[in-house]
Structure 1
Amino acid sequence: MHSIISKPRLTFWQLWNMSFGFFGIQFGFALQNTNTSRIFSTLGATPDELPLFWLAAPVTGLLVQPIIGYLSDNTWHATWGRRRPFFFIGALLASIALFLMPNSTALWMAILVLWLMDASINISMEPFRAFVGDKLDESQQTAGFAMQTFFIGLGGVIASLLPMIFTNYLHVSNEVVNGAIPDSVRYSFYAGGTAYFLSVLWTVLSSDELPPEDMEKFRMEKAQRRGLIYSLKEVFGGFVHMPKTMVQLALVQFFTWFSLMGMWVFTTPAVAENVFGTVDGKSAIFQEAGNWVGNLFAVYGGVSALVAFVLPKLAHATSRKFVHMLCLVIGGLSLISIAFIHDKNVLMLPMIGVGIAWASILTMPYAILAGALPAKRMGYFMGVFNYFVVLPQIVANLVLGPVIKHLFGGHSVNVLVLGGVSMAIGGILTLIVSDSAKKEA
């Protein structure tokens, strides 16, 4: 449980400043999620190979997040604070990776840069979740996570639209020339890398942090934790001491993020085949489909940004777990419907449902969890919780390749149907979660 010492109530603009870094972080994630399969396909990957190549993303999260959470819990600097050093370092490395990714000239290069990019994004992202628990009283935590979700949605909209903006409005080439990534994608990643760094820097410079309640005790405990063996024991030993709520949410997260990974990996080839009529990753039509997927992802990001402000009110009127259940079921049915749509404009409709689900996915589980965690280990347990985000993604990447090849006849859209069913199951399982929340203000 949280400390009995009350935390100061933050204003709207303080919430804005402390969350603004997520605007840039989502540039990294949105560019990655929208364009990685496109880049891999352009460099010669086949649909059944894509999940294996995407393994870099969840595996780095599996390794990085608990370690970063543990380190940030045990960090304090009079100027930089606890979480902000990790915001800054992660943002710098992620920005470099975003500049490198579209300049990959071979498939293996793109895969290696994906490892670097995802690890760096995780370094800056994980402490942002703990930042809310550090600074906000429980009555403001759903609002804090909702503000993060707003910036995630807003950043996702702009980042997802960048290739289309460069192509249609700035007249940058969207075609593959001599096997190279299209200029529209390259310039999008350059813009994203710049936005990432500057947005996180804004939060670093405009927000402060609460020092440990007992600085002397903090220093003594930190000294006791020194040593590699002790640190490893602390990092991985917490799995047997997870709060009950966290264990229950883990099952919900598994079905949710299995679905999301399938969507991110296979939406581009699914839309290219099911709507644009091509499976040739080097063709101009495939690149056009890639731009359209950016539009679709922008829709779900934009919807999530708007819905983020509604969720706390709905949670106040009902409950957080009811809201999450409803949103996931809506998202699951929306994904299933994509298989029956062959008009690119009509595809916007299911993306509205996905956006509703995405807003809740980024808000409700963390708000429910934050109230069940010990304050001094907030960063660590948020990092451990990320295991239940990345493990289902790893499972998805290991099984979806053989599934699409041997069961789905190579048709990517069937993976989206499977993902929709999985997301709906996750929604129903939310009903078993214990949430002893205070009424949201």
Structure 2
Amino acid sequence: MSFGFLGIQFGFALQGGFMSRIFQTLGADKDAIPFLWIAAPLTGLLVQPIVGHLSDRTWHPRFGRRKPFFFVGAVLSTIALFFAPYSSALWMAAGALWILDASINISMEPFRALVADKLPDSQRSYGFVVQTLIIGIGTWVASNLPWLMTWLGASNTAEPGVVPDSVKYAFAIGAFVLFTSILYTILTTEEHPPEDQAEFEKERSLNTGFLAGFGEILKNIAEMPKVMKQLGVVQFFSWFAFFTMWSFATPAITSHIFGATDTTSAAYNDAADSVGTYLGTYGLVSMFYALILAFVASRIKINRKLLHLVSLISGGIGFILIYFITETWMLHLCFGLVGIAWASILSMPYAMLSGSVEPKKMGVYMGIFNMFIVLPQIVAALGGVNFLYKLIFGEAVINTMLLAGTLLILAGLSNLLITDRRATHD
């Protein structure tokens, strides 16, 4: 039931690892890159709770509850992912990113809810960790695709304003994997009908129409569990940090470590491929870390809060070390530490939250919870990253990695706010 996340992560990894490269190729200044990302989190702010609300109130004897959303999101994501590297102007690339991110979210949030739908509370840590394991595989493979295409003979340079063929082929492969993996989950996963069909139909009939649905979402936001608010602080710092990485890893590392800034040069494009490979390392490490967590969570009770705290601080140290390394191979170590944080971010908050949410509202609350993912990205895109890294650390773009590390350490310490034992202990 989680196999579709392989494809979703292909989309996210290619988006996170190479959209800034596409923006730079099309002439974007480094300080403008975060703003070009803003449409994606803005759309997520609206799409995620609405899709969650609708999926909670959807049921079809043949197509199920969550699977119709998987399919719609897969079709739209595939189209956007394939055409993104063919953009000939910045506004086209930003638009492709907007459609891609919104479409992936249509599929992703119902996937989170599906795990909570089908597993009892005692197995949810295990379930979300297995999901993270699949995400790690997708991140590593997708992040290495441009390098692999170059190795197989695809051109890694192009005329000014044109994305190299190696990136175009990588995005095409990613689009294929995204669609087929989600389709596999749709065809092989059975969903359970509502326990009380009559009560389900009654509630659905009372919440028809846009205004009624919007009002219900606002009511759920006002009544969100205390644990969700506490986790929201952790999520804010965590996703601000990762948005900083996705926006600035390529310009920061290619210029600071490889000394390459000319986007038409082989040196820059080879360095950008290498950055993708290093980003793949955090996916690979997250996979192994998730595998260990899956083994542990299936056998003993774990303290989710302390585990998440340590994992996030490890990732923060990894980001900070990027500034100080002297050899390129050390980037694998840095992003390996980031991978520990990434594995935890994709599993522990959802496991902590799921035990505090009514099952019939799982979809809408998973969507609302993701507001704490998109809000920090919006703040970062509207100038938060540029303002903070220059104010605290200085003008050099590599200082964005120092900012990301500091924020991730703050995210780890914020776990101390969580006091509900039902959330923190498996």
Give the TM-score range, shorter chain.
over 0.9
Residue of structure 2 equivalent to 1:152: 135
Q: In the TM superposition, what is the alpha-carbon distance from 1:59 to its structure 2 partner? A: 1.1
Once the two structures are superposed, residues 39-96 of structure 1 have per-residue CA deviations (whole angstroms, 9 ceiling, x without a partner) of 0000000110001111122112111100000000000011110000000110010000
Contact 1:145 1:366 in 2 (8 A): yes
Is the 8 Å Cα contact of residues 146 and 363 (structure 1) preserved in structure 2? yes
The whole-number CA distance in structure 2 between the counterparts of 1:394 and 1:184 is 30
8 A Cα contact 1:72 1:82, kept in partner: yes
Instruction: Return the match for 1:431 from 399, 408, 416.
Output: 416
Give CA deviations for 1:368-403 in whole Å, capped at 9, x if unaligned: 100000000000000000000110111111222344
Structure 1's 279 and 405: CA in aligned 2 closer, same or farther, altered over 3 A? farther
Looking at structure 1, the residues matched to 202 and 423 of structure 2 have their Cα atoms a distance apart, in angstroms, of 33
Aligned to 1:7: none
* Secondary structure of the corresponding residue to residue 176 of structure 2: helix
1:328 partnered with 2:312: yes
Of 1, 12, 22, the residue aligned with 2:5 is: 22
Cα separation, partners in 2 of 1:238 and 1:296, compared to 1, 3 Å: same
Is the deviation greater in 315-324 or in 392-401?
315-324
| Aligned-residue offset at 1:280 | 2.6
| Pair 1:400-2:382 in alignment | no
Whether the aligned pair in 2 keeps the contact of 1:160 and 1:295 (CA below 8 Å) is yes
Deviations for 1:6-51, whole angstroms, at most 9, x for unmatched residues? xxxxxxxxxxxx0100000000000000001000000000110001
1:309 aligns with 2:282: no
Cα deviation per residue 1:284-324 (whole Å; 9 max; x = unaligned)? Answer: 22211210111111111011111112225556454011100
Give how far 1:435 is off.
Answer: 3.6
Q: Choose which of 319, 333, 344 in structure 1 pairs with 2:303.
A: 319
Residue 41 to residue 408, structure 1, CA distance change in 2 (3 Å): farther
Matches within 5 A, 1:365-384: 365-384=349-368
- Once residues 29 and 326 of structure 2 are traced to their aligned partners in structure 1, the CA distance between those partners, rounded to angstroms, is 22
State yes or no: 1:386 paired with 2:370: yes
Structure 2 residue matching 1:310: 3-state secondary structure: helix
Change over 3 Å in CA distance of 1:388–1:436 after alignment to 2: same
**In 1, Cα distance between the equivalents of 2:271 and 2:349?**
33
| Preserved CA contact (<8 Å) 1:339 1:413 | yes
Deviates more, 1:405-414 or 1:149-158: 405-414
Q: 2:357 is matched by which residue type in structure 1?
A: L
CA RMSD of aligned residues (A): 1.5
Question: 1:189 and 2:171 equivalent?
Answer: yes
TM-score by length of structure 2 reads 0.96
Whether 1:206 and 2:188 are equivalent positions in the alignment is yes
Whole-angstrom distance in 2 between the partners of 1:301 and 1:193: 19
In the TM superposition, what whole-angstrom CA distance separates every residue of 1:228-268 from its partner, at most 9, and x where no partner exists?
A: 22111012221110101111100111111110100111110
* Code of the aligned partner of 1:424: I
Alignment of 1:166-177 (within 5 A): 166-168=149-151, 170-177=152-159
**3-state DSSP of counterpart to 1:308:** helix
Question: Alignment identity in percent?
Answer: 49
**Relative to structure 2, which stretch is displaced further, 423-432 or 272-281?**
272-281
Which of 229, 240, 249 is the equivalent residue of 2:211? 229
Match of 2:230 in 1: 248
Distance 1:186 1:337 in 2: 32
TM-aligned CA distance change 1:102 to 1:387, over 3 Å: same
The correspondence for 1:64, drawn from 18, 38, 47, is 47
Structure 2: state its 5+ residue gaps. none
The 8 Å contact of residues 48 and 410 in structure 1, kept in 2 or not, is answered as no
d(CA) in 2 for partners of 1:408, 1:43: 28
Question: Is 1:422 paired with 2:407?
Answer: yes
For residues 287 and 404 of structure 1, the distance between their equivalents in structure 2, rounded to whole angstroms, comes to 26
Which of 4, 7, 22 aligns to 1:39? It is 22
Structure 2 vs 1, CA of residues 342 and 39 (structure 1 numbering), >3 Å: closer, same or farther? Answer: farther
Q: Using the alignment, how far apart are the partners of 1:114 and 1:318 within structure 2?
A: 38
Distance 1:213 1:328, change over 3 A: same
- In the TM superposition, what is the alpha-carbon distance from 1:171 to its structure 2 partner? 0.7
Q: Distance in 2 between matches of 1:239 and 1:205?
A: 33
| 1:299 alignment partner, one of 281, 299, 307 | 281
Q: TM-score by structure 1 length?
A: 0.93
Residue 134 of structure 1 aligns to which amino acid in structure 2?
Answer: D
Give the letter aligned to residue 349 of structure 1: L
Distance 1:415 1:256 in 2: 14
Alpha-carbon distance, 1:407 to partner: 6.4
Distance 2:285 2:408 in 1: 18
Residue 69 of structure 2 aligns with which residue?
86
| Other-structure match for 1:101 | 84
Query: What 5-or-longer segments of structure 1 have no aligned partner?
Result: 1-17
Q: Rate the CA distance shift 1:178–1:264 in 2: closer, same or farther, 3 A.
A: closer
- Take 2:254 and 2:212, find their aligned partners in 1: how far apart are those partners? 51
Higher alpha-carbon deviation: 235-244 or 407-416? 407-416
